[in-house]
A and B are shown apart, each in its own frame.
With several copies, the nearest count.
Chain A
Amino acid sequence: MFKKILVANRGEIALRVIRACKELGIKTVAIHSDVDVNSLHVRAADEHVCVGPADDALSYRNIPNVLSAAEVTGADAIHPGYGFLSENAHFAEVCESIGIKFIGPTSENIAMVGDKAKARDIMARQGIPVLPGSPGELRSESDALDAARKIGFPVIIKASAGGGGRGMRVVNKEDELVRAFQAAQAEAKSTFGHEGVYLERYFLEPRHIEVQVLADERGRVVSLGERDCSIQRRYQKLVEETPSPAVDDRLRRVMGRVAVEAVRAVHYRNAGTVEFLLDKDQRFYFMEVNARIQVEHPVTEMVTGIDLIKEQIRIAAGFPLAYRQQDIRLTGHSFECRINAECPEKFTPCPGLVTRYLPPGGLGVRVDSAMESQSPVVPHYDSMIAKLITHGQNREEAMARMRRALDEFVIDGIKTTIPLHRRIFNDAEFQKGRISTGFLERFLANQAG
């Protein structure tokens, strides 16, 4: 097992990883930018190294400084968390080359699944259902027209190197296609440095369903159930739950099997997530593989009882998976609300000083956060400051628990998304599980009107 792990992240996920390390008896090194010097993740670690100024390009994503920090502290592994360097194939490669274990997939894994069009083709060749779309990147406007006609409108144009909703364009009619294609290429080029785009059928109100997988270094893979992440605003997830109200036992088994096939096809290692789109007729389509631990991993932990961060560490240290597929039991229901430092109406970030902080407690309530009273929420990083997770024997209990926990949560001094979450959890359609990726926009429009 590793002796000392450097946690190349900040905020709640850095603290999450440090907690797992502590429970495994592994020493930890926190890195931080200078504005984060007093953060909880820094104080929770055994050692800490300042790696640069507030700008994360010069600190948390500064590869030489992060690796130097690992070197001077004698860390034998690095956990990247999510964001920052977590899906940087080059970083993973450099770690491998200097003998510091990158806790996550291989650099080849990251590079391969990072090319979305290519990954889709690999999956299609494996017989995994993918969204009807262009075979690989579109080379020309006529390529795009041919593909769109074959698939049928509406279609969506996506950047191969894209993610998080950027570089996407929905096209409803044929005469809009050429302009959208050109614009998408230009946007892809300027945003991701690579102009490649591809095209897929567009579904109006699908669900975003993703399957958590764990793969050890010997290639054994298990799936840990799905997460329904349909509550999104501009492709940013806000509420996640497991199990999905739309997935029954049979569908869960099928999707789990397909997810395992998908990660096997790319010889994937460590924790990963296979994202699917689920339409109203219970048909699902592969979208992409997320080569990192995800923000919403706790809901899976709540229903499986498995600590995913510890599993990541054990797998990276070479231990075989301690579970076979039949050992995985899903118990109860779990929700996660992302608490962002944002104005709940307009979603504008709201940095500032948290004057008073009191997380909710009691049975079935979990809070992952690095906040405390008198914590500053600095404007340089992601606005997510806490994850509120509940678990209950069934969806109703988990929802009721979330409502009471949202009522208890005290974060004074800044605005947060807590009031929005309260309204969502009081919505009749949401309560019935009638959600899709279009839910939140319609919900917000209704609230405003």
Chain B
Amino acid sequence: MSKPRVRPRTKKERGRLAALPTNMSEFSSRNNALSGISGDQRRAIQELVELLNQHNLAELEVERGGFRVRVRRETGAAPIAATAWEHVPAAQEAPAESPSVSVSSDTSGMVTITSPIVGTFYRSPSPDADPYVDEGDLVKKGQVLCIVEAMKLMNEIESEVDGRIVKIMAESTKPVEYGQPLFLIDPAPTS
């Protein structure tokens, strides 16, 4: 899948920088990985196990067209939970296996636009200007949604799809990391 296009611009303004929150990523379902099951049950189980390990789950059960798989791990073995190391990112909310894929469909068909770079998120071209988009707005593919400033360069992030902004997931003037969700877009708005 393609990445959102990044168009660098000259710096207009910089917001106040704050420390990144310790956990910025969002869990994105990979259930579609199982949609291709045609009878190759071994591969499906393999994927489930990988999911279990990656996301450090205790148990996983899938039933699809008469094919049911349940994978469970002993709670004691759940290795990355609750440790003396101070900052534990919640393992269940780890990013998807390929977060370089910045547009991903979730179960309800939404499209998430994630940040392709590390920088500071701005909803408008300047402090006095109106935001590029608001929740509820209809957007066109290629339309600028926001700016992520990095190294004094303003990078415009464009929409990859036509649709409606369902949710703005980052706060203006706050830092964003690579792969952090910025917008949730419904590509087939009913109204």
Contacts and interface: CB of A to CB of B under 8 A. Distances in A.
B86 A43 contact: yes
B119 A34 contact: no
Given A51-B178, A71-B151, A374-B79, A410 B89 contact: no
A22 to B, nearest CB: 10
Interface in A347-404: 353, 355-356, 358, 372-374, 376
A407 to B, nearest CB: 6
Contacts of B78: 374
A339 to B, nearest CB: 11
Counting chain B CB atoms within 10 Å of each CB, which of A42, A52, A68, A358 scores highest?
A68
Contacts of A98: 151
Interface stretch (B15-23, B32-40, B124-132): B15-23
Contacts of B179: 34, 50, 53
B76 A374 contact: yes
Nearest to B176: A72
A374 B53 contact: yes
Given A50-B178, A53-B99, A72 B118 contact: yes
B186 to A, nearest CB: 25
A157 interface: no
Contacts of A219: none
Given A38-B89, A409-B84, A68 B119 contact: yes
Interface in B114-167: 117-120, 150-151
Contact of A71 (B17, B25, B77, B87): B17
Contact of A372 (B79, B86, B98): B79
B177 to A, nearest CB: 4
B60 interface: no
A40 B53 CA distance: 16
A235 B91 CA distance: 38
A409 B86 CA distance: 11
A64 B98 CA distance: 21
A51 B25 contact: no
B112 interface: no
A43 B85 contact: yes
Contacts of B76: 353, 355-356, 374, 413
Contact of A64 (B17, B86, B150): B150
A1 interface: no
Nearest to B100: A53
Interface residues on A, range: 35 or more
A68 B19 contact: no
Contacts of A163: none
A411 B24 CA distance: 26
A408 interface: yes
Contacts of A413: 54, 56, 76
Contact of A50 (B85, B88, B180): B180
Given A51-B118, A73-B20, A373-B79, A34 B84 contact: no
A68 B99 contact: no
A186 B59 CA distance: 55
B100 A34 contact: yes
A280 B117 CA distance: 53
B30 interface: no
Interface in A1-49: 34, 37-38, 40, 42-49
Interface string B161-185: 0000000000000010111100000
A69 interface: yes
A380 to B, nearest CB: 12
Nearest to A31: B118
Contact of B25 (A50, A52, A58): A50
Nearest to B76: A355
A53 B86 CA distance: 24
Interface of A: 34, 37-38, 40, 42-55, 58-59, 64-69, 71-74, 98, 353, 355-356, 358, 372-374, 376, 406-413, 418
14 contacts: A37-B25, A42-B89, A44-B87, A49-B175, A49-B178, A51-B177, A54-B100, A65-B150, A67-B150, A68-B151, A72-B120, A353-B53, A353-B54, A353-B55
Given A34-B25, A38-B56, 11 more contacts: A43-B87, A49-B178, A68-B117, A72-B120, A74-B19, A353-B54, A355-B56, A355-B76, A374-B77, A407-B85, A413-B56
